[in-house]
Structure 1
Amino acid sequence: MSALTEMRRAQTAAAKRRRQITWLVVLAVLAVLPFVFNQNIFALAVMTQMGIAVIFALSYNMMLGQGGMLSFGHAVYFGLGGFLAMHFMNFIEEGMIPLPIPLLPLIGGMFGMLIAIIIGSFSTRRAGTVFAMISMGIAELVAASSLIFVAFFGGEEGISGDRTTGPNVLSLDYASEIEVYYIVAIWAAIAIYFMHRFSRTPAGRMANAVRDNSERAEFVGYSQRAVRWMSFCGAGFFAGIAGGLFAIAYEILTEETLNVVTSFGVLLWAYIGGIGFFIGPIIGAIFYTFLQTVMSNYTEIWVFYVAIIFLLTVSFVPAGLTGIMMMHLPAYQNGRLKLLFRPYALMAVPVLLFVLGMIGFLELGHFAKLTSAVEREHSLFSIIMNIDSVVPWLSFSIMVGLGIFGMRRLKPGLMEAWETANPTQGAGLKAAAPEKPIEMGKDTAAVEEGAPSS
């Protein structure tokens, strides 16, 4: 018995050391990222936006991924927290409150939690479709109120502030992008840590239990409403923190910050990244922000591509991008991951042909619809193409056809390699995806919790 106890203590100590090393690595990466990009202003702005999106997405995951509450109004807490933080920023500028600017996200978080306490007191009585419809109604109500209560929301123009007028801390005036980045990075590290810790607490575990089987949780003595309400309030707090950071970073807030479109956006981030895993919304938020800030410079229909990715994720990979990576964990642990390198490399060729061909069709079609009768040439893939010519259309048709043909021919070999790398039937799938996806029309969401121990 003593030997078993010592072994368990050693395993616990090893796991603790791994977690500590992981957090130290995260902090080190956040600290050196600006210098990796030579303090480029555009790169700093993108990383700042990613940090805010990560906090926002993880706060949403506290409701959906951990609590099974599908919300269409999570931007309410994000936006209201940001608006109050902006008002406090103006109070600081007028000399009414001597509050350091880096503490504004805490004001936003407390206000977001206060609103969540009020709304959650009645909305968390139910889950599933009823909860989703209540959240959508509240989102529309708040969005409409933003155009009515002009004193707080500023009407259509919104409200703005100046982050450089507050008390200087360590001789910093927060005028440069790198100073704003480090404010966001520090708050992101703090928020990620505490949200991860919450998922490991008894309250977080009970949120998972209520999500999976609310009746069983009630039977063992836990109030499903109280558990949902606790997760709901925590989600509102961290969403408000993200809103406060948004106010600092952009110094303006409008009705768009808290409307249904923003709420659907965070839903996209969480689903694309993978709601069954703690790290999933982080990957989804970074991925979406990259598409929004980088791809939008090259194409006007980047939102259409995001919609396609979302549909493909929900239809074929419900566990998201993180689930795809976790599918390969058994093969990696068995030392057979290398068996998949060659089939993947071969399959990448027809997939790339198919994707490029479809992008060509979409881009040329979009350009043909918007262009005038005079301007008929369009630059795509650094090639000047005349949309009146049959050559580009035929070329993209051939690429799509070859891509489909190649994928069909290589699929059997890829499946055989997959079965060889994963001898246990369904091992990769079971490691990656929940047995049942979230169903909007039911009060429970059977998503296995797969957060990494780090």
Structure 2
Amino acid sequence: MRAKPHVDRPLARPPHMRASALMWLALAALLVAPPLVSAWLSPSGAPQGWLLACLAQTAAMIVFALSYNLLLGETGLLSFGHAVPAGLGALAAAHCFNRYAMALPLLPVIGGVAGAAVGALTACVAARRAGTAFAMITLGLGELVAAAAWALPGWFGGEAGVPIDRASGPALAGWSFGPDRQAYWLIAAWCFAACVAMRVLSRAPFVRLANAVRDNPRRAASLGASPARARAAMIVLGSAFAGVAGTLALINVELAAAESVGMMRSAAVLIATVTGGAGAFFGPVLGALVWVAFSVGVASLSRAWMLYVGVFFIVVVLMAPEGLAGLAARERATLARTGWRACVAPWCLALLAAISGSLAFVLAVQWAYAIRFGDDDASANAFAALSTHAQWSLGAAIGVFSAIAWLAARRASALRRARFGANVAHPEAQP
């Protein structure tokens, strides 16, 4: 009997490659689909202005968070002054655009070069240090630049900042970039290109060297590598992409403000990166989406949005130290190992606890803000106008939601320990 000829079959893609491809498709869909759908639904055929502004802010924050992850995730450098290269890069780009006739699509290049120059100066001071020393040095440099922003109004523009007019530059293929939709497509293209560039860089050999310096700098030095040089290279690269992110924000709002180099912006990118997860490439992207959801969506509804950001950040750090992306990867691995039947009950109970606890906390905070600020807070007017009976009912509802959250959380934790083991229930206990 004749044997069948052997035919080579293409190997199936590993699961992590399929997940990476899906994440890239999701990022492209996030940048492209909403404006197209909005334009299709709009009678005028143009996307909504508020949607384009929100998406442009999201795109700039994605690049900003990924640039910070080159320091924190890839090199293990905790920086409290990452807003400095972003803000100074945007300021340099604004001055160049106002003084010279240059096309707007080239503006992020100017911001990236200026950010890299700022990163080189930072590396000269801080690259020989790591850990707490590096964090304190960057904090001092950030405060120094923030103080200089008000002492040098000719460069920083003072309280008014440095404005630009997008349409004042040369047109490109009939695009003046004055309309919001043209500026947005430029920002989206630069965002996707910067993400691809940082993904390619994350697989480069010198980034692997930076990973080795992050994990064990003494062993890397004993093998002939220079930890200071590896850190310096990553600081320059991270600062360059931060300058690109700052310039994308400049194109969106047409203003480079002095506050763009302040501590608040550095804290924002730190929260976004840690919340999303510094251990995965797309973790900072997820964290950027969460930050924009709070700073734009929640901020438009309540003046307590910063309180919600702080509490959410604390909960993520306590419950999922690896970030939201790491939590998703851990739960996906648990699902693959145990099957969906074992995961449904703990997941449903955890979701119930999260929803009930969030409702109780939001109701309590909004009620407290209504008592404190009264008519000054439009979002709290409904709580301020409650009768005495309604206030007692509201207090009871807060207590009920809190009890449900506590009981559901305890039951979910017990089920996870019983079905998956203690190490799965408490990931920080893993060796």
TM-score, reference length from structure 1: 0.84
SS in 2 for 1:175: coil
Residues 1:337 and 2:340 are matched in the alignment: yes
Aligned position for 1:238: 241
Aligned position for 1:43: 51
Confirm or deny: 8 A CA contact 2:349 2:412 kept in the other structure. Answer: no
Q: Aligned AA for 1:80?
A: L
Pick the aligned partner of 1:265 from 259, 265, 268: 268
The whole-number CA distance in structure 1 between the counterparts of 2:409 and 2:382 is 34
Label 1:341 to 1:177 Cα distance change in 2 as closer, same or farther (>3 A).
Answer: farther
Label 1:307 to 1:412 Cα distance change in 2 as closer, same or farther (>3 A).
Answer: closer
Residues 1:31 and 2:32 are matched in the alignment: yes
Label 1:18 to 1:156 Cα distance change in 2 as closer, same or farther (>3 A).
Answer: closer
Pick the aligned partner of 1:402 from 378, 381, 400: 400
How far apart are 1:187 and its partner, in Å? 0.9
Label 1:335 to 1:303 Cα distance change in 2 as closer, same or farther (>3 A).
Answer: same
SS in 2 for 1:37: helix
The whole-number CA distance in structure 1 between the counterparts of 2:25 and 2:229 is 35
Label 1:172 to 1:396 Cα distance change in 2 as closer, same or farther (>3 A).
Answer: same
The whole-number CA distance in structure 1 between the counterparts of 2:404 and 2:160 is 52
The whole-number CA distance in structure 2 between the counterparts of 1:255 and 1:389 is 46
Aligned position for 1:152: 155
Of stretches 357-366 and 233-242 in structure 1, the one that deviates more from structure 2 is 357-366
SS in 2 for 1:70: coil
Label 1:284 to 1:21 Cα distance change in 2 as closer, same or farther (>3 A).
Answer: closer
Pick the aligned partner of 2:113 from 98, 110, 113: 110
The whole-number CA distance in structure 1 between the counterparts of 2:253 and 2:157 is 16
Aligned position for 1:189: 192
Aligned position for 1:452: none
Q: Aligned AA for 1:86?
A: A
Unaligned runs of 5+ in 1: 1-5, 437-454
Label 1:22 to 1:386 Cα distance change in 2 as closer, same or farther (>3 A).
Answer: closer
The whole-number CA distance in structure 1 between the counterparts of 2:425 and 2:169 is 53
Aligned position for 2:92: 84
SS in 2 for 1:146: helix
How far apart are 1:25 and its partner, in Å? 6.0
Confirm or deny: 8 A CA contact 1:272 1:321 kept in the other structure. Answer: yes
Confirm or deny: 8 A CA contact 1:61 1:281 kept in the other structure. Answer: yes
Confirm or deny: 8 A CA contact 1:82 1:243 kept in the other structure. Answer: yes
User: How big is each residue's C-alpha offset from its partner over 1:212-250, in whole Å with a ceiling of 9 and x where there is no partner?
Assistant: 111111111111001101110000000000111111111
User: How big is each residue's C-alpha offset from its partner over 1:259-279, in whole Å with a ceiling of 9 and x where there is no partner?
Assistant: 111111111111111122211
Correspondence list, 1:365-384, <5 A? 365-371=368-374, 384=382
Confirm or deny: 8 A CA contact 1:72 1:264 kept in the other structure. Answer: yes
Q: Aligned AA for 2:302?
A: T
Q: Aligned AA for 2:120?
A: I
Number of residue equivalences? 418
The whole-number CA distance in structure 1 between the counterparts of 2:374 and 2:27 is 47
How far apart are 1:338 and its partner, in Å? 4.3
Residues 1:60 and 2:58 are matched in the alignment: no
The whole-number CA distance in structure 2 between the counterparts of 1:153 and 1:181 is 25
Confirm or deny: 8 A CA contact 1:274 1:281 kept in the other structure. Answer: yes
Of stretches 190-199 and 36-45 in structure 1, the one that deviates more from structure 2 is 36-45
Q: Aligned AA for 1:234?
A: L
Confirm or deny: 8 A CA contact 2:112 2:244 kept in the other structure. Answer: yes
The whole-number CA distance in structure 1 between the counterparts of 2:17 and 2:337 is 24
Higher-RCO chain (CA-CA 8 Å, sequence separation at least 6): 1
Label 1:297 to 1:316 Cα distance change in 2 as closer, same or farther (>3 A).
Answer: same
Label 1:25 to 1:408 Cα distance change in 2 as closer, same or farther (>3 A).
Answer: closer
The whole-number CA distance in structure 1 between the counterparts of 2:22 and 2:342 is 30
Residues 1:222 and 2:228 are matched in the alignment: no
Aligned position for 1:391: 389
Confirm or deny: 8 A CA contact 1:351 1:407 kept in the other structure. Answer: yes
The whole-number CA distance in structure 2 between the counterparts of 1:12 and 1:220 is 34
How far apart are 1:340 and its partner, in Å? 2.7
Aligned position for 1:180: 183
SS in 2 for 1:73: coil
Confirm or deny: 8 A CA contact 1:331 1:421 kept in the other structure. Answer: no
Confirm or deny: 8 A CA contact 2:356 2:405 kept in the other structure. Answer: no
Of stretches 390-399 and 356-365 in structure 1, the one that deviates more from structure 2 is 390-399
The whole-number CA distance in structure 2 between the counterparts of 1:419 and 1:85 is 54
The whole-number CA distance in structure 2 between the counterparts of 1:350 and 1:327 is 19
User: How big is each residue's C-alpha offset from its partner over 1:48-81, in whole Å with a ceiling of 9 and x where there is no partner?
Assistant: 0000000001111111111111111000000000
SS in 2 for 1:334: helix
The whole-number CA distance in structure 2 between the counterparts of 1:177 and 1:292 is 21
Aligned position for 1:440: none
How far apart are 1:210 and its partner, in Å? 0.9
Correspondence list, 1:314-333, <5 A? 314-333=317-336
Aligned position for 2:423: 426
Confirm or deny: 8 A CA contact 1:109 1:240 kept in the other structure. Answer: yes
Of stretches 232-241 and 37-46 in structure 1, the one that deviates more from structure 2 is 37-46
Label 1:428 to 1:419 Cα distance change in 2 as closer, same or farther (>3 A).
Answer: closer
How far apart are 1:347 and its partner, in Å? 4.6
User: How big is each residue's C-alpha offset from its partner over 1:407-438, in whole Å with a ceiling of 9 and x where there is no partner?
Assistant: 44334542354356646x635865xx7969xx
The whole-number CA distance in structure 1 between the counterparts of 2:18 and 2:307 is 44
Higher relative helix content: 2
Q: What fraction of aligned residue pairs are identical, expressed as a percent? A: 29
Aligned position for 1:447: none
Of stretches 385-394 and 202-211 in structure 1, the one that deviates more from structure 2 is 385-394
SS in 2 for 1:207: helix
